[in-house]
Amino acid sequence: MAHRREFLQQALVLLGAGMCAPALAAWLQSCSSETKQPTEPGGTVELDLSTVPELQQVGGAVKRTFGQHNGGQPVLIIRLAEQQFVVFSTVCTHAGCEVGLPQSGRIPCPCHGSQFATSDGRVLQGPASSPLKRFASEYDPARNVLKISF
Ligand code: FES
């Protein structure tokens, strides 16, 4: 009886290891992709701007997701000037839809028509009544890296 129990336990362990192999491979792959945009302790991310064509020009904007930062939702990064950037959550403060890319200085929400200012995320048009959540960022021109604090 004890032998049979041991056999079953070993079989379950082996079966479990076999079932986990694809998950393990996916996990290892996700680790390797994270090394391209390292996440530092304390909730900061460094983005190498040479890898982001949308941000080469003043006025450029791009959405990016950084793992579980911002609840796993994308952030909107806008280049306001040569060395000035702003980073907002893309989650609309009205009912949670994802806002669009900026147009003519305004960040539109496709769901109910709210609009937010690209400069500081304040509401320009409702129904939203609160500004977009903003994350602190710091540009290092020597390295062409934008450091975002979550
Ligand atoms: S969710 Fe954005 S305007 Fe309603």
pLDDT in tens, the chain (150 residues): 444 445 444 443 333 434 433 343 433 343 333 334 444 445 899 999 999 999 999 999 999 999 999 999 999 999 999 999 999 999 999 999 999 999 999 999 999 999 999 999 999 999 999 999 999 999 999 999 999 999
Q: Is 120 helix (H, G, I), strand (E, B) or coil?
A: coil
Give distance in angstroms: CA of 79 to centre of ligand 1.
24
Burial class (CB in 10 A: 0-12, 13-18, 19+), 35: exposed
Q: Do you know the residue count of the chain? A: 150
CB of 109 within 6 A of ligand 1: the answer is yes
- Write down the pLDDT at residue 134: 98
Q: Whose CA is nearest to atom 3 of ligand 1?
A: 112
For residues 140 and 44, what is the distance between their CA atoms, to the nearest angstrom? 14
- Write down the pLDDT at residue 15: 38
- Write down the pLDDT at residue 145: 97
Radius of gyration of the chain, Cα coordinates, nearest whole angstrom: 22
Give distance in angstroms: CA of 105 to centre of ligand 1.
18
Determine the atom of ligand 1 nearest the C-alpha atom of 112.
3
Chain centroid to CA 48 = 14
Identify residue 92 by its one-letter amino acid code.
C
For residues 46 and 145, what is the distance between their CA atoms, to the nearest angstrom? 6
Give the global pTM.
Answer: 0.73
CB of 114 within 6 A of ligand 1: the answer is yes
- Write down the pLDDT at residue 26: 39
For residues 88 and 130, what is the distance between their CA atoms, to the nearest angstrom? 13
Q: Whose CA is nearest to atom 4 of ligand 1?
A: 112
Q: Which of 73, 106, 114, 129 is the pocket-test mutation for ligand 1 (most atoms within 8 Å of CB)?
A: 114
- Write down the pLDDT at residue 42: 53
Q: Whose CA is nearest to atom 1 of ligand 1?
A: 95
